[in-house]
Amino acid sequence: MNQSPRSILIIGSGVFGLSTAWALTKRPSFGNTAITIVDDVRGASFPPGDSASVDSSRIVRADYADPDYAELAALAQEEWRKQGDDELGGQGRYTESGLVLAANESAEPKMSGMGYTRSSWENTSRIARESGQADRIRTLETKADLQRFLGVDGHPGDWGYINGLSGWANAREGMLWLYERVKATGRVNYVDAQVEELVTEGKRVVGARLDDSRVLTADVVFVAAGAWTGSLVDLRGRVEATAQPLGYIDISEEEFQVLAKQPVVLNLSTGLFIIPPQTRVLKIARHSFGYLNPVVVDRALPPSPSEERRPIVVSRPLTQRDGSRNARALPADADEALRQALRDLSPVKGLDVRPWRETRLCWYSDTSDGSFLADWHPGWEGLFVATGDSGHAYKFLPVLGDKLVDCMTGTGGRLGDKWKWKKEAAGEAGREIDGRFKGLVTMDGSRAGRPGLILQEELSELSAR
């Protein structure tokens, strides 16, 4: 991008979209750029309630096997730790509870849950040493060590470590904080509408058509629609929507007093984790290969102007906005896995038989290597795509927008190289092969479970029981 555009249309108000708008308002070079955010909030606050970033909690960790992400997360943590009422981490928006990262021994290749956990320990230990806080991290060498530290008698893992420099954020409140900051600049116009398709003229993307037939135009169209991005842009084999299960149970005041003092616990071999409660509601979740929801979309932008739009099959989120009674239902294997997490990771006994207060599916936009996609579309002018959160973007909220704008302006450095549009898509992933949808699989070592599960098939098995 040789010069700042007169206008930018950001599609999506989640972590990628809202943080980018915030970064743009702070850059003098974009001082004369008109900024618009469009999202389907249906009269509520931005971002929509079914976006991945709107939830009770998200883990904030520099615990990564990849040193680039570890360093970026450590940078973000500097902002999260600011506890003034008007700062991001204030008023309970961030709690540095510590994180126990663990894994199970197996005969899997190096980049398994255990391989990821050990590499993560190496990276976080280095960061802690460099900041003079090496004593905040220590290993838990055996299952018995993990059990003693956590006060559990299940199977939390075979090896792990405690990182006292990590914690968790109230995700919903963090997004509201950022929305209010962006709104206060007076620089951003918010449009509450559903985007039906991108609008093109020749080789250029010039805007977006809304569900009420209006067309919003801009010099740059910045698509940051999270798990819905594949419905607007053909990203098959590059990015795919997957659903991850979350469960919430009511707890007593006595149970709250115990659990609130616990660290976050995450086992990367099972993907199961528990985040300390902020109220008398406990959240349990699984970070896995996820569930797919293949549907036909008619108006996704093709890879290049030489190709016509045609119906394609993509995995697309199924949420409450779709009016489906299955939008919050958990497949049987997910229900059992979350209950196993309570048996293995919670010091309070008997929670695994408690009825759910609420369940939901959190929709990731996954990539094959777990890295984000943030680059100019190689086939179209005027189109920047920022997606592929892969379930770990929220922690970067205070710094991600600046990095994305750097990518836009060609100054992204190592992260820009990591997030570039890959020359080759992931083979047959994201396509129907012999009548069956073949899902993209994220192979960064942080996932667990069985890949390729189709949500509706798993729910059908549940209803047949």
Identify whether 441 is part of a domain. Answer: no
**Which residues is 284 bridged to in the sheet?**
247, 274
Domain that holds residue 334: 7-303+326-418
How far apart CA 465 and CA 462 sit, in angstroms, is 6
**Which residues is 10 bridged to in the sheet?**
37, 222
Identify whether 240 is part of a domain. Answer: yes
What is the structure's pLDDT at 320?
A: 81
Residue 378: how many CA atoms within 13 Å on its side-chain side? 9
Q: Alpha carbon of 137 to those of 95, 111, 164: distances in Å?
A: 17, 22, 6
- Total structural domains within the chain: 1
The residue to which tokens 């396509």 are assigned: 431
Identify whether 448 is part of a domain. Answer: no
Burial class (CB in 10 A: 0-12, 13-18, 19+), 463: exposed
How far apart CA 115 and CA 48 sit, in angstroms, is 36
pLDDT (tens place) for every residue of the chain, 465 residues total: 778 999 999 999 999 999 999 999 999 999 999 999 999 998 888 898 889 999 999 999 999 999 999 999 999 999 999 999 999 999 999 999 999 999 999 866 556 899 999 999 999 999 999 999 999 999 999 999 999 999 999 999 999 999 999 999 999 999 999 999 999 999 999 999 999 999 999 999 999 999 999 999 999 999 999 999 999 999 999 999 999 999 999 999 999 999 999 999 999 999 999 999 999 999 999 999 999 999 999 999 999 999 999 999 999 999 887 777 777 899 999 999 999 999 999 999 999 999 999 999 999 999 999 999 999 999 999 999 999 999 999 999 999 999 999 999 999 999 999 999 988 776 778 788 888 899 899 999 999 889 999 999 999 876 655
CATH, residue 267: 3.50.50.60
Other CB atoms within 10 Å distance of the CB of residue 420: 16
Identify whether 46 is part of a domain. Answer: yes
Pick from 367, 414, 365: which is nearest to 394 by CA? 365
Sign of CA dihedral 344, 290, 192, 5: positive
What is the structure's pLDDT at 107?
A: 63
What is the structure's pLDDT at 411?
A: 97
What is the structure's pLDDT at 11?
A: 99
Who's near 257: CB < 8 A, 6+ residues apart? none
**Which residues is 36 bridged to in the sheet?**
9, 189
What is the structure's pLDDT at 463?
A: 60
How far apart CA 256 and CA 282 sit, in angstroms, is 8
Identify whether 436 is part of a domain. Answer: no
**Which residues is 281 bridged to in the sheet?**
250, 279
Identify whether 1 is part of a domain. Answer: no
What is the structure's pLDDT at 325?
A: 73
Other CB atoms within 10 Å distance of the CB of residue 427: 12
What is the structure's pLDDT at 462?
A: 65
Which segments of 140-299 does DSSP mark as H helices, in order?
A: 143-150, 171-184, 229-232, 253-259
Identify whether 213 is part of a domain. Answer: yes
How far apart CA 225 and CA 222 sit, in angstroms, is 9
Identify whether 163 is part of a domain. Answer: yes
Cα of first residue to Cα of last residue in the chain, in angstroms, is 56
Q: Which amino acid is present at 440? A: L
Decide: helix, strand or coil at residue 168. strand
